Amino acid sequence: MLLEEVRANPQQILQSDAEDIHSWVEGKLIDKVGQLGKKLHTGRSRNDQVATDLKLWCKETVRELLTANRQLQSALVETARANQDAVMPGYTHLQRAQPVDFRPLVSRVCRNAGAR
């Protein structure tokens, strides 16, 4: 698959003679599937391809961020459970204030991070 090939050696794009990433992809498709690869542009302008590429990249990146966020939330919940009786200094105006319970603090952080 082309994506796996790029992930294995991303420098190949920069080392190629292609004008840009889109020309590189088209060239690779032609190498892999022959003349059918030239139909990549059929009905689409370069700008359409760029917008589609960006949208697909954003969708994948958001998926990765959501996964990382869930992992962070899980780690915070486990830390809160392991330290149920812990107390830490609360802060106001960047100065230490009254002592606060660690668990509710972590709970608020998780809530603000979108935990359900």
Tens of pLDDT, residues 36-51: 888 877 777 878 888 8
pTM: 0.61
* Assigned token pair, 98: 């009254």
Three-state SS for 109? helix
Q: Give yes or no for a contact between 84 and 77, defined as CB atoms under 8 angstroms apart.
A: no
Residue-level pLDDT at 21: 83
* Assigned token pair, 47: 């700008």
At 11-31, the pLDDT tens digits run: 988 899 988 888 888 888 899
